[in-house]
Amino acid sequence: MSTSSNNSHNTPEECSEEEALQIQLDDDIYISDLDDDNIEIEQDDEEIIQSIQDLSLEEITTINEEDLNKNLELSQQLKLVVKAESDVWKHVNKETRKCSYCSKIFAPTTATSSIRSHLQSQHKTLLNKEQLNFVIKKYSSEIQMEKTQAIFEWIILALKPFNVVENKAFQNMIKKLDPFYQVPKRKAIYNLAISQFYEQRNLIKNYLSNIISKVALTADFWTSLKMESFLAITIHFIDKNWNLQHFVLDIFQFKGSHTGEIIADKIYNLLEEFEIETKVISLTTDNGANMISAANYLQDKLNSNNFCHYRCIAHILNLVVLAGLNNLENPIKKLRKLIKTIRKSTKIFEDLKNIETLDKQSFLAPILDCKTRWNSTYHMIKRACLLNESIEISLIKHPNLKTYMPNKEEWKIYESLVHLLEQFNEATIELSSQSYPTIAHAQIILLALRKI
C-alpha cells in the first residue's frame, strides 16, 4: 500500500496482514509495518517506548494521526519507524517454517497471526504480547546541523576544548535535554571549526575589499605558558559611516628566528592574502629592535612614501615608569616579598581576610605585580596601602611577617608613589583606547605628565 501525496490512508480493515501499513504525519513523521516482525526505531525515548509497548499490534495499526501527535509528541522533522521481532519465532524455525513441537511446516506466505493460532490451539503455548524494541531516528541533517552549530558557538565563545562533546556528563545532559539529538565527535567539531574559520576569513576578505578608507595596523608578540611565540596583527580603519572599526586580522604561531626581515615577510604575505597592501598607511609596534627593523623592511616592500611606523606611546610610558621605579628598588622589593609571603600562606591570607571583613566590608586581596603588565606595580602598591592597618594587625598572630614589613617612612614613600603613578595609569588608559584615535592625544598627555 502506498501513501498518496494528499496523505489519504486506507483503513485498517482494507489492509491485509501481509500488506504494508504506512501512516504519513505532516509529510515528515510516519510509522511503517510490513507485519509484526518488521518494526524498527532508532534512538531511545522511554516515554515513547512505553506508550507503544502498551499497545498490541492491532491497536498500533488503528492509531490515527491525532493520537500520534498527542502521544508521541515528535518534531515534524523526525521520522519514527517501528520494528519488533514476533515471539512466534521462538517456537517456529523462521527459515524452514517448521513447528518445534510437531511436523507442521508453514507456507512462506503464512502470517504470524496464523502461526500464533496454531501454537495456542495445538500446543497450548502461552505467548506474551509482542515486545517492541524502539529507537528514535535522528533529526534531519538540517536540524542536526542547526543544533550542532549552537553547541559549536558555545564551545568557541566559552573557550571550551573540542573534546568536551565526548565528556560523559555533557553527553548525558544533552540526552536529557534533547534525546533525539546526536552529539557529534570531537573530530567533527574540529572540522567544523576549520571550515567556518575559512568561511569567515573569506567574508572578511570580501568586506575589506569594499572599504574605501586607508587602514592602520598594530602588531605585537605574545608568548604562551608553553613558551610558544605568537604574532597578532590588528587592523584599524574608518567605515563608510565614519565609525572607527578594528579587529584581529590574524594571530599565528611564529616559529624560528624573530628577525625583522622574517617578521616583515609574514606581515606582507598576510596583507597580500587580504588584498589590502595598497591601503596600509601605518604600523604601530613596541620598541623592540626587531619590530623597528620589520617596519623598515615592510616599508620597502610596500614601496610607499605614505607608510609610517609608530612606536606605542603607552609602551614608552611603561618603560619610563619602570626606569623611575629602579631608583626605589629596595622599598619596592621589600613590599613585593611581603605580598608574596601573604599570598603564599593560606593561613595568613585567611586571617587577613577575616580582619578586613570584621566591619562587613568586601575583602580586597593583595596584588602581586608583573613586569610585563603595565602599571601592575602601581596597583600592587595602591592595594598594599589600603591593607596597611590589617597587615599591621596580622603581625600579632604572624610575627614572621615583621621581616618584610615596611617601616613608617617606607609606607610614606608608597603613598607618594600611588599619587604619582596614578597619573601615569590614567594616561596609559587614555592612550590605550581603541574607540577613538589616540595619536592626537599623545603630545598633550606627555606635556601634562612633565608638569607633575
> pLDDT per residue over 327-372, tens digit each?
888 999 999 999 999 999 999 999 999 988 887 678 889 999 988 8
- pLDDT value of residue 248: 93
Angstrom distances, CA of residue 118 to CA of 34, 286, 328, 334: 21, 92, 104, 98
CATH class of the 215-311 domain in this structure: alpha beta
- pLDDT value of residue 32: 34
- pLDDT value of residue 70: 46
- pLDDT value of residue 417: 94
Angstrom distances, CA of residue 18 to CA of 35, 93, 433: 6, 19, 77
Closest CA to 116 of 62, 57, 60: 57
- Phi, psi angle pair for 270, to nearest 5°: -65, -40
Alpha carbon distance 381, 302 (integer Å): 46
User: Do the beta carbons of residue 424 and residue 378 sit within 8 Å?
Assistant: yes
Q: What is the domain partition of the chain in residue ranges?
A: 12-122, 141-197, 215-311, 322-444
Q: Splitting the chain (452 residues) into consecutive groups of 10 residues, what average pLDDT does each group show? A: 41 40 35 38 45 46 47 48 65 88 88 84 63 55 92 95 95 92 94 94 92 92 89 93 92 90 94 93 92 94 89 90 89 93 92 84 88 89 93 90 90 93 92 84 86 76
Alpha carbon distance 256, 414 (integer Å): 43
Say which residue the cell 590614567 belongs to.
426
- pLDDT value of residue 450: 82
318 backbone φψ class: left, alpha, beta (φ>0; ψ -120 to 50): alpha
In this structure, how many other beta carbons lie within 10 angstroms of the beta carbon of residue 81? 18
Alpha carbon distance 54, 71 (integer Å): 12
- pLDDT value of residue 69: 52
CA atoms within 13 A on the CB side of 247: 9
Alpha carbon distance 263, 257 (integer Å): 9
Closest CA to 107 of 18, 39, 16: 18
What's the distance, CA 300 to chain centroid?
41
What's the distance, CA 7 to chain centroid?
43
- pLDDT value of residue 137: 57
At 332, list the grid cell.
Answer: 619596592
